[in-house]
């Protein structure tokens, strides 16, 4: 691997592995530890049987409990929404290295890699590296940045081995989750600590990427609680451009974290937190740096009347430095209270409210400025949703949320769903909803260049973007070997962001764009034999706008994509995963269609030791995925390269 230019790097969480030259010593330690564990495996107690993680039948997949659709546990097969669940098993088999790579496993998401660290991720269109119509949460903590109403993916990471599942909803979720859940919701849920009562060491070495992570789990003394702590360090080499020149975007990242869970009678309490620091090379002076920390507490109580009460609060700190571009300090406090009452299996009421305050401070440069440089933003909401049985198998759900923000006041987010539960294996639903994308600082406060006279100015009257969406879906399971779902959707968008020329010749942010989108999403699973299964998905999407091209929208959406995954257990301890993915051409800026083939071979040497060989993009040495960043079109975009990686995972 090529050395990273560490330009004044300050990644200090794992100083022992900060130097590239120290990594081989970790390999030696890891391999020696693996050999010792292999020889003495009978002397260790393992809290998690690796072999038990490998196979879920289609019936078990349908019985997975999900919470993102109605904020209440329900079977996946009975959830009236376009939902795809990425299981821990799927993440392990794909050897995903970060959250965006894990999200690639959801056929309904648009995931494009822009650079070594930057991604464009969206659902149902409007994709860009600043996509702002998708709500993303990690264990209930919203990783939302009010600067642009999206996610800084380079600032978000977790230990993927500890993920229980990722619930991906395509379509509106504003009634329960609030503004910005316009086109989808991603809910990343980590495992209860009682499921990670062992130790884990994982080491990965590849042509462009290497990583080491370690986790320890155990029981809290003199209590009914459990805990785990972890640390990880990743680094990646520079990308290459279309002309094969290197792009200075190599990065390295360190992160530590913990989680603890207590259960006492009808009460459950969770306390967890993370801290991280990363550095990214750039073509300009210095390095980009991201540091942050968060802590979250959650209390769940089963009350005597059969209802449930949940109270959650978290504090999140983020600091970003991009020399010569901008810097940001963001501190967020959030609290949420929720009460749910289930009268019968078919009837339930859920209501709640929340408050969030964020203090955002920008370091302006000669390139861009946010005026004022410092803002304190507040959001408050209250919501209610009622599900009733209309007639036999027919269920009707009606809900609404009132959510206020400092820019546009109070927004109304209603939703109505009619579902026909024909049987335990067949579900038909129809949904209508209204959602909004509330203004962010980039809409109101952005000025360019950073000093007057300004060419581009923020829109002081910028209002919320609005989406009206209708959706019809069908999910069914045929016998024990085949299940599928079909979802058709149509949306009309009003007051989308635009750039309008003022009388003085400046470009001002406005709401002059409208759009209509429609699409079809199809998912299927087929269990051919107990050892061989197939997972397929396809998405068709069409977007019509009242303009041919709007640079400030900075989105680029193709019409079609599909995935086909094959999971094959060759022997009891050997597994082969093959994933084939195709994405159609992106219109502007034009990116050619591509097909990517990934293969992953997992060899379980014992109940505690697993060796994995991953091959990515095997069918083509290079391909492009996205050519726009923040409204700027690249004439020499990043190429995604073919890669080989070897991983060792040891439980002890």
Tokens of residue 267, six digits: 């009460």
Q: Would you mind telling me the total number of residues written for the chain in this entry? A: 652
Query: Are 223 and 260 contacting, i.e. CB atoms less than 8 angstroms apart?
Result: no
Nearest to 181 by CA among 151, 152, 158, 157: 151
**Can you give the pLDDT at residue 37?**
40
**Can you give the pLDDT at residue 148?**
92
Check pLDDT > 90 for residue 53.
Answer: no
Residue-wise pLDDT tens digits, 219-263:
998 778 999 999 999 999 999 999 999 999 999 999 999 999 999
Check pLDDT > 60 for residue 641.
Answer: yes
Indicate the SS3 state at residue 608. Answer: coil
Cα–Cα dist 437/361, whole Å = 22
223 vs 302, which has greater pLDDT?
302
Check pLDDT > 70 for residue 389.
Answer: yes
Residue-wise pLDDT tens digits, 265-294:
899 999 999 999 999 998 888 899 999 999
Residue-wise pLDDT tens digits, 149-208:
999 999 999 999 999 999 999 999 999 998 889 999 999 999 999 999 999 999 999 999
Report the predicted TM-score, pTM, of the whole model to 2 decimal places.
0.91
Residues 526-538: what's their mean pLDDT? 95
Query: Are 277 and 10 contacting, i.e. CB atoms less than 8 angstroms apart?
Result: yes
Cα–Cα dist 89/160, whole Å = 11
Cα–Cα dist 219/193, whole Å = 9
- In the chain, how many H helices and how many E strands? 6, 40
**Can you give the pLDDT at residue 346?**
67
Task: Report residue 38: phi and psi, to 5°.
Answer: -65, -40
Tokens of residue 588, six digits: 């502007």
Tokens of residue 39, six digits: 């020889």
Residues 480-497: what's their mean pLDDT? 96
Strand residue runs (E) in 18-139: 65-66, 74-75, 82-87, 109-113, 119-123, 134-138
Beta strands 507-529 and 456-457 are: parallel
**Can you give the pLDDT at residue 283?**
84
Residue-wise pLDDT tens digits, 100-136:
999 999 999 999 999 999 999 999 999 998 899 999 9
541 vs 504, which has greater pLDDT?
541
Please give the mean pLDDT across all residues of the chain.
88
Cα–Cα dist 100/640, whole Å = 14
10 Å Cβ neighbour count for 479?
10
Cα–Cα dist 456/473, whole Å = 43
What are the strands of the beta sheet with 622-623, ordered from one edge? 246-247, 239-241, 638-641, 622-623
Query: Are 9 and 252 contacting, i.e. CB atoms less than 8 angstroms apart?
Result: yes
**Can you give the pLDDT at residue 60?**
66
DSSP 442: H
Tokens of residue 256, six digits: 């530590």
Query: Are 275 and 293 contacting, i.e. CB atoms less than 8 angstroms apart?
Result: yes
Cα–Cα dist 588/548, whole Å = 10
**Can you give the pLDDT at residue 78?**
87
**Can you give the pLDDT at residue 72?**
83
Q: How far is CA 369 from its chain centroid?
A: 29
Q: Residue written as tokens 């740096």?
A: 289
Cα–Cα dist 292/331, whole Å = 10
**Can you give the pLDDT at residue 344?**
64
Nearest to 465 by CA among 172, 103, 120: 172
Residue-wise pLDDT tens digits, 606-633:
999 999 999 999 999 999 999 887 667 8
Beta strands 251-264 and 632-633 are: unpaired
Strand residue runs (E) in 7-102: 65-66, 74-75, 82-87
Cα–Cα dist 346/390, whole Å = 10
Residue-wise pLDDT tens digits, 321-367:
999 899 999 999 999 999 998 766 568 899 999 999 999 999 999 99
115-153: b or e for each residue (b if 16 or more CB lie within 10 Å)? bbbbbbbbbbbbbbbbbbbbbbbbbbbbbbbbbbbbbbb
**Can you give the pLDDT at residue 56?**
61
Beta pairing partners, 544: 516
């Amino acid at each position: 691997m090529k050395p990273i230019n560490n330009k004044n790097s300050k990644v200090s969480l794992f100083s022992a592995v900060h130097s590239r030259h120290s990594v081989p010593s970790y390999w030696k330690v890891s391999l020696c530890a693996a050999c010792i564990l292999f020889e003495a495996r009978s002397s260790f107690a393992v809290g998690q049987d690796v072999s038990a993680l490998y196979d879920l039948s289609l019936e078990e997949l349908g019985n997975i409990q999900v919470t993102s659709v109605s904020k209440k546990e329900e079977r996946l097969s009975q959830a009236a929404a376009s939902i795809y669940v990425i299981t821990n098993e799927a993440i392990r088999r794909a050897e995903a290295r970060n959250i965006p790579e894990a999200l690639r496993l959801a056929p309904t998401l648009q995931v494009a890699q822009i650079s070594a660290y930057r991604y464009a991720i969206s659902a149902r269109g409007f994709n860009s590296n600043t996509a702002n119509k998708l709500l993303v949460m990690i264990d209930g903590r919203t990783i939302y940045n009010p600067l642009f109403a999206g996610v800084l993916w380079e600032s978000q990471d977790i230990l993927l081995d500890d993920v229980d599942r990722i619930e991906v909803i395509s379509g509106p979720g504003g009634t329960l989750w609030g503004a910005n859940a316009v086109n989808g919701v991603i809910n990343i849920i980590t495992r209860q600590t009682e499921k990670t009562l062992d130790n884990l060491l994982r080491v990965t070495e590849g042509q462009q990427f290497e990583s080491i992570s370690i986790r320890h789990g155990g029981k809290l003394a003199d209590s009914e609680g459990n805990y785990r702590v972890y640390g990880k360090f990743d680094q990646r080499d520079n990308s290459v451009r279309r002309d094969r020149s290197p792009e200075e975007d190599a990065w390295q990242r360190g992160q530590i974290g913990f989680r603890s869970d207590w259960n006492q009678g009808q009460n459950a309490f969770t306390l967890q937190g993370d801290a991280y620091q990363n550095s990214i090379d750039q073509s300009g002076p210095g390095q980009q740096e991201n540091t942050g920390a968060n802590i979250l507490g959650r209390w769940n109580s089963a009350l005597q009347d059969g209802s449930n009460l949940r109270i959650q609060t978290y504090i999140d700190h983020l600091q970003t430095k991009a020399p010569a571009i901008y810097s940001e300090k963001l501190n967020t406090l959030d609290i949420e209270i929720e009460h749910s009452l289930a009268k019968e299996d078919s009837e339930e009421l859920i209501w709640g409210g929340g408050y969030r305050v964020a203090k955002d401070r920008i370091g302006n440069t000669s390139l861009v400025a946010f005026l004022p440089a410092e803002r304190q933003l507040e959001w408050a909401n209250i919501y209610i949703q009622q599900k009733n049985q209309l007639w036999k198998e027919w269920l009707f759900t009606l809900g609404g949320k009132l959510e206020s923000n400092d820019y546009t006041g109070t927004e109304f987010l209603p939703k109505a769903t009619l579902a026909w539960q024909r049987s335990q294996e067949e579900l038909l639903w129809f949904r209508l909803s209204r959602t909004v994308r509330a203004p962010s600082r980039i809409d109101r406060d952005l000025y360019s260049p950073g000093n007057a006279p300004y060419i581009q100015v923020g829109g002081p009257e910028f209002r919320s973007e609005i989406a009206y969406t209708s959706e019809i879906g069908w999910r069914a399971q045929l016998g024990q070997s085949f299940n599928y779902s079909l979802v058709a959707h149509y949306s009309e968008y009003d007051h989308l962001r635009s750039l309008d020329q003022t009388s003085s010749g400046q470009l001002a942010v406005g709401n002059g764009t409208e759009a209509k989108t429609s699409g079809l999403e199809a998912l299927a699973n087929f269990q051919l034999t107990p050892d061989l299964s197939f997972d397929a998905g396809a998405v068709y999407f069409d977007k019509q706008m009242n303009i041919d091209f709007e640079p400030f929208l900075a989105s680029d959406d193709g019409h079609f994509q599909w995935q086909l995954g094959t999971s094959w257990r060759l022997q009891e301890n050997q597994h082969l995963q093959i994933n084939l993915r195709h994405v159609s051409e992106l219109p502007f800026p034009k990116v050619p269609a591509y097909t990517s083939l990934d293969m992953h071979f997992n060899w379980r040497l014992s109940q505690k030791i697993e060796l994995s060989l991953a091959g990515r993009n095997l069918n083509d040495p290079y391909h492009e995925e996205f050519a726009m960043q923040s409204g700027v079109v690249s004439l020499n975009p990043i190429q995604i390269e073919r890669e080989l990686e070897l991983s060792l995972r040891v439980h002890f």
